[in-house]
Each structure stands twice: as structure tokens, then as C-alpha cells.
Amino acid sequence: MKQKYQSLVHQTIPVSKAIGWDIESLDIHYIKAHIKLAPNINIHGTGFAGSIYAAAMATGWTLLKCWYEENHYSAELVAAEANIQYLAPVTEDFYCLATLDKSEPQYRKLQERLSQPKSCGYQLPVKVECNEKVCAILTIQFVFKCA
Amino acid sequence: MKQKYQSLVHQTIPVSKAIGWDIESLDIHYIKAHIKLAPNINIHGTGFAGSIYAAAMATGWTLLKCWYEENHYSAELVAAEANIQYLAPVTEDFYCLATLDKSEPQYRKLQERLSQPKSCGYQLPVKVECNEKVCAILTIQFVFKCA
């Protein structure tokens, strides 16, 4: 599964390759991506805010894409809005992590709506970690669009 | 001025080159950047949300960097938080535009604080336009850090 989605993302979102984004671990409810610092530095030699965001967005999108495809739902997945908080500088290669929490009301609602099928929103947090410290949190408002 | 900051950004933020970001017009209160779609596509062939954000962030950062350097203020400029709304797909090469509004209270406050010098926040909106349509709006909370 990891290799399938790694190839899909690298082939369809070329920026994911340019920023050195790779999947380290993936199942339908969890993703951990590894990102190289070198292509993503800013003027301070730390992670560029734009690269950190792009890496986290690719990570969140990949998890939801994997989840709905492996569940055989049919939808188009887009980001409607997002908020990112930068908490500490990224000083080394870093990780982006996201989990689909099955206990959340929005998870059950999403399953119900996609089964009909009807469009549905989903808010996903993605953590950015470097050296075991949370450096940023991206919260993405996704929309699953059904025809 | 355009060439000076174009070179600075390309040399210190390598992702700006990878995404085909170039300054079209720059003075200390206004910036317009041009971005190629090709390196920034997603699975739908439109602009990847992460690339759009990175281009807008580079644009906003460059305007404030230019403004404070040309005004001979001394500070470190970082992004603390940002929010982006995606309003329409980016289907062609696109533009990022930002203006420093001298009539805003936060502008006068920033001048006063940096003159002392003391750290100060500044909220900057960056518009993303494609084919004369606003496709996204990024609102960045910057911080000018004074030692």
C-alpha cells in the first residue's frame, strides 16, 4: 500500500518529489511521511514555511485518498481551507503524521454520506515533527465531492 | 529591486525555483509574482493546494523582507500562523499579489515598534489569481523579531 500511494503521489503531484517527500508508513487510518530538509530550507537554514505546509498537505491528502479508495468509495477529494500554526523551527529532516480517528462523529458521518453517495466535509489535523518535537500543526478542511 | 529580491529568494529558498516562482513586479509596498502551473499540478491537472500556498507564502515574505530592508530596519521575519481559503481551481499559470496598506493602524504600529526596535506582528493577505479570477486567499500572521 505504501509503494502504491508513494508512486501515485510522486507521479501526479510532482512537487512531492521536489520537496523530498516519501511515505514511511501507511495504512487506511494512519500515515507517516519523511521529508528531507535540504530542498526545503529558508534564509535561516531551517524549514521554509511553504514547504512545511506542502509536505503536510500531501500527507493529509494521501491518507484520505488511501482511505476512500481502499473502502471503494467514489469521490473527488479537494482541500477547501486550511490553517497552520508554526510552533518551532524545523532544523533537520522532518516527519508529517496524521491519523483518521474512527471514534469521531465526523468519521461516522463521512461513512454514511459516502455510502449514499453524497458529498461531505472532513477536518484532518496533520502534525509536523522534527527531532521528536511538534514544530507545526496543519488543520485541513477537506471536501469529498460526489457527482 | 525586483532582480535583487528574485536572486535572494531563489538562492535562499530553493523551493521557490522548483515551483517556478518569479517576481513580475516589486516595490516596497506591492508585489506581483508569476508562477508556472506545470511543476505544481495535482492529480486533477490543476494547482496543488500545497504549491499554491508555498507560492503565496514566498510572495508575502518577499514583500515584507523588501519593505523592512529598504527601510533599514533590523529584524528577523518569520511566519507564526496562516490561513488559506481555496475558492476556485488554478487551471493555468497563476499570480500571487500582495499590498502593504499604509493606511492601516497595524502599519503605523509596525513602523513605531521597529523604530525602537521592538518585535511586532503583522497580518498580510496574499491573493492568488488565475485568468483574472481570485482562486485563493492566504492570510499570514508574520512576526518581526528584534533581538
Chain B partners of A8 at a C-beta cutoff of 8 Å?
43
Q: Considering only alpha carbons, which residue of chain A is nearest residue B141?
A: A85
**pLDDT by residue, tens only, chain B of 147 residues:** 999 999 999 999 999 999 999 999 999 999 999 999 999 999 999 999 999 999 999 999 999 999 999 999 999 999 999 999 999 999 999 999 999 999 999 999 999 999 999 999 999 999 999 999 999 999 999 999 998
Fill in the amino acid letter for B122: Y
Q: Which of A13, A18, A44 sits opposite B43 (nearest CB)?
A: A13
Q: Residue B33 in 3-state DSSP?
A: strand
A107: Cα within 13 Å, side-chain hemisphere: 11
- Whether the full predicted model's pTM is greater than 0.90, yes or no, is yes
Overall size of chain B counted in residues: 147
Chain A partners of B15 at a C-beta cutoff of 8 Å?
18-19, 39-40, 48, 50-51, 54
